[in-house]
Amino acid sequence: MLLAVDIGNTNIVVGVFQDDRLLTSWRMESDRARMADEWWALLSTLAASDGIDLRAVDGAIIASGVPQLATTFRTLIRRRLHREPIEVSAALDLGIRVCTDNPMEVGADRLANAVAAHHRGPGPWVVVDFGTATTLDIVSPAGDYLGGAIAPGVLVALEALTARAARLQAVDLVLPERAIGRNTRQAIQSGTLLGYLGLIEGLLARVTAELGQTPNVVVTGGLGELFVRHSPALADYDPDLTLIGLALIYRRLVAQRGAA
């Protein structure tokens, strides 16, 4: 079995694969204070509840945007699973070419998303990831990672707004039925959630013009479910896209080692 770990600034998502099948996944808060043994206790409890024996894990791969937590999970995997985890970066043979000015600065989760999208079929592809940041990642038909766009995440924007405006209160993350809010709550929901929908649709239009053809679009990320089905461009939602990309990268690298 394979343990795939996607470490973000807000959440950590852990998946367990048997061959190419995702058996289960768990989403947890990115608590930087939690130590390796504490993470192990939590993962062991979650695994037991899902009938997973973590002792059967024979490989591990990490995508991390939080160096401190990457170190913690490396320690956990080495100490508890007795495996050396693969850590994703553009320095690896990912099966796609990273055609940016500085490939090593591209986030590991974005690379995994690009790999998973390219694996889905002929491109071009745009991955829209609604997480701590809202990102777009573009993959050419040939499998070239071309770059993308990064905007503050929906929660980051909402928290900044309500923290800096004394008369504005936090609101539920629900897309309103109309753009013209009849009260403060509806107005914030319109400006934030419908505003982000417009942001994404506008960026997709610009990306389409630059590519010269209409791309396939896949949505992922913990907040992606808020936006799918509210725009024709955002109909395809795969919450496990990053984990699937990690599994694809792992299998590719293991196969290469076996053939060497």
> Residues with catalytic annotation?
109
Query: Given the structure tokens 């079995």, which residue do they identify?
Result: 1
Do residues 151 and 218 touch, judged by C-beta distance below 8 A? no
State the Cα–Cα distance between residues 166 and 65, nearest whole angstrom: 32
Do residues 23 and 57 touch, judged by C-beta distance below 8 A? no
Do residues 72 and 16 touch, judged by C-beta distance below 8 A? no
